[in-house]
Structure 1
């Protein structure tokens, strides 16, 4: 089964200074956008605020539980900053899960769920299924 996706820490606010976030958290962002920057020329849409993100990707050769575990272990070392930032900015985690097939199943172990809970952040799950079936 072809499963791929990503886990992302997002920090956003119209008051957000992208360089300050990078320096404070000690991670180089995998992406950032500034307020007013175009996000869709076709729809004529611009960013409503500033966005800083740090993303890790995985593919079918990876176990999503293990990738999330490593990602959360990294974020746990930054938890003091994350908790402080979450009082001032919108800070949350997303999981993007994509599959070629209609049926999707993943397991998250209790210790990974505890790490996630300990960060006290909103966690969004986005699933994209292409609806295929195996022969």
Structure 2
């Protein structure tokens, strides 16, 4: 019996496992990056686009911008209350995973040094008060607090 195929398969699994562990360590609060990426594709990218660039009308860019909301008072809450987040059909655990992944994936460089990942409990509380028509005004007020940022 040739053990080489088994050794190759075992090595490949170890490499994949190590890569996943490294990714998860690099993204606190993300328990499953693959699930988050899949959820992003199914629930978010239709409006925010695969690269997070959004559009100029109603779907703001996330790429290079989304974590800036964490730097202003009320911004963290805003991200959990926007309609596409608050009303998405994911449970709170998966949504917290997706929120944290999105912040790391699209705007890691602007995450505050003291960033605390969203928890399922926090997401649950924020979802109970979704923003509706007032979303645009709230967003505009938050962006105005961000120095030197143009969206």
TM-score, structure 2 as length reference:
0.27
Q: TM-score normalized by structure 1?
A: 0.29
Higher relative contact order (CA 8 A, sep 6+): 1
Query: Larger C-alpha radius of gyration, 1 or 2?
Result: 2
